[in-house]
Each structure stands twice: as structure tokens, then as C-alpha cells.
Amino acid sequence: MKKPLILLLVLGLGAGGWWFYRASHRGGGLEAGRLTLYGNIDVRLVNLAFEVSGRIAELPVAEGARVAPAQVLGRLDDQRLVQARDLARAQVDAQRAELGKRIAGIRPQELAKLRADLAAARAESVNAAHRAERAQEMLKRKLGSPQDAEDATAFAKAAAAAQLAGLESALASAQVNLDYATLVAPVGGIVQNRFLEVGDMASSDRPVYTIAITEPLWARLYLAEPDLGWVKPGQPARVMSDSFPGKSYPGWVGYIAPSAEFTPKQVQTTELRADLVYQARVYVCNPAGELRQGMPVTVVLDLRAAPLGQPGCAPGADAPTQSGVTALTHG
């Protein structure tokens, strides 16, 4: 009778010990309405290249520099592009003058009709003027009707307007190409790499810079399956780093993977590598630029707080420090 009781007691102690071991080696802890997790800081990278080809004339920004949105990062030698733009502008001006001659004195209603016929007139733009001249000559010789002359003249005006529209489109394209000779930062961040130098030939398939977006950063974490029911997108969080003891950074849960994966090798022990986990990202505000890629961090989630409606670091967004997350401590 005693042997079965002893056996049950041993099994119970073994199961409890196994559970305690698993809980203490999960890489996180669930207690007092908070979940502590561990991960590393990661950043998003943007590769920047010129939209047009040309020789680089200026690259004023070096690696490690902090850049702001719309800041100029480089310029190409744009002499050829300026000449192309100026030629297109001159052709537009000449065609506008030609069209002005043809529509002088025309009524607004007739001008609206001519503009509506631009698409149909493109194919006839070369021959339209000659047809009008022939019609006028035939009218003088009384070989054609006044209506024929009016139709031919109107058609010539529409063709001239169509040609003007095409030249204006070419001018707009030339101006866009000229604008693309200046490389600007689409977002703020830090220049992580500069691949080309002044004098190099640039093109759309040759990146010039890589910019690391520093606001917001995010911490890559891994959730065990039992923790999934507690963690929700938008949940407030605090992020702490050993590099800055006693300081925390506000954040929020931004992403939870829809599918499981095996625990990466760099996470915890060999025994845990066989477990299935879910990757999560906690976005964190980093206004002072203290957090850097790869930095190990501790993340504390406030499980009692409601998810933020519109979390973010920008003014007007829900502050990640709301809903009691500031009351959490390291302990």
C-alpha cells in the first residue's frame, strides 16, 4: 500500500520539478500582471539610389551622420539634363505661339471643341496644316465649299493643340528627370553605409546609401505558446538595456507572427531550441538615439493595460507610456 503512494509522490515531485525547470528557462516570466521577455534591438533599413543615370557630383553626407526627412544627400552632374529640359521648354514655347496664331479670334465654344478633339488629331498633326492650306486655296478658286475650309482650319488648330500637349508632356518628363538628379532622404535616420563616391557613375540599380531608420526601432522577441493568450497588438511595454541602467524606453507590441518556428539557436539553452515559439516585435521610441541594432534588451509588458488605439512616437499618437506601464519596475 505504501509503495504506490511513494511512487505517486515521486512522480508528482518529478512533474512539479520539470514544470518549474521549464518555467524558469522559458526566457521570460509571467507574474503580477506583467510578462518579462528578452530580445534584441533591430532596425529597418532603406537603400537609396538615384532615379536617373549620371556621374555623381556631390555626396555631402558621410557614414554615421544623422539625416532628416527631405535632406539632400547627393547630386549628379545635371548639365545634360538641364539642356534637355531647356530644349523641351523652347519647343513648348514655339508651339504655344503657333497655336496662338491658329486660334486667334476663335470663340470659347469652338476652342473647347478643339481641345476635346486632341486625341483624334494626333495622327493627322503632320498633314493637317497642308490640308487647311489646300482647302483655302480651293475655296479661292471656287473649287471647294466654305464648310470644307472651316473644317480643315479647325482640324489644323486641333492638330496644333495636340502637338502642344505632347511637347508639354515631354517638358514635364524632362523636369522630372532633372529633379531626380538630386537625391533626398525619404525618412529620418542614420547613414549606415555609403557605397559610392564623387565621380562614380550612378544608376537606379546601384544603391548610394543605406539608412537605418531609428524612430521607431523594434525589439525582436519570441513568445512561448502559453504566453500568446496574454499578449495583444498595441499593448504598452517598457524596454530596458544594460547599457543604460535605470532607464526605460516606452514601446508597444506591434507584431505577433501568425505561425510558429523553432527557437533560434541564439535564444537560451540547447534544450529550448527544439521548442516552437512565435516571433513578436515590440516597437520602441528612441528619441536620444541610444538604442542600437543588435543591443540585448529586457521587455516588460503590462498585461492589465488595454491595447493602445493608435500607438506611436509622433505627436498626436497614443503615448506608449499610458495605461500604467510606467508603474512597472525592473524587479
**pLDDT given at position 60:** 96
Distance (Å, whole) CA 32 – CA 20: 17
Residues in the chain predicted with pLDDT less than 50, given as ranges, are 1, 10, 15-28, 111, 119, 122, 126, 139, 142-149, 268-271, 321-331
Per-residue pLDDT tens for 199-234?
999 999 999 999 998 877 899 999 988 888 889 999
**pLDDT given at position 144:** 45
**pLDDT given at position 46:** 93
**Residue 87 has which C-alpha cell?**
530644349
Q: In Å, how far are 60, 215, 249 from 47, measured between CA atoms?
A: 17, 17, 27
Residues 6+ apart with CB under 8 A from 113: 154
Distance (Å, whole) CA 309 – CA 302: 15
Q: Are the beta carbons of 224 and 275 closer than 8 angstroms?
A: yes
**pLDDT given at position 17:** 46
Q: Are the beta carbons of 188 and 213 closer than 8 angstroms?
A: yes
**pLDDT given at position 96:** 81
CA angle 14, 19, 24 (to 5 degrees): 125
- Structure pTM? 0.57
Q: Of all helices (H) and strands (E), which one includes residue 215?
A: strand 209-224
Per-residue pLDDT tens for 256-296?
998 888 766 555 444 455 578 899 999 998 878 788 888 99
Distance (Å, whole) CA 67 – CA 21: 48
Terminal C-alpha separation, the chain: 47
**pLDDT given at position 68:** 93
All structural domains of the chain: 26-43+216-327 (2.40.30.170), 46-76+182-209 (2.40.50.100), 80-179 (no CATH)
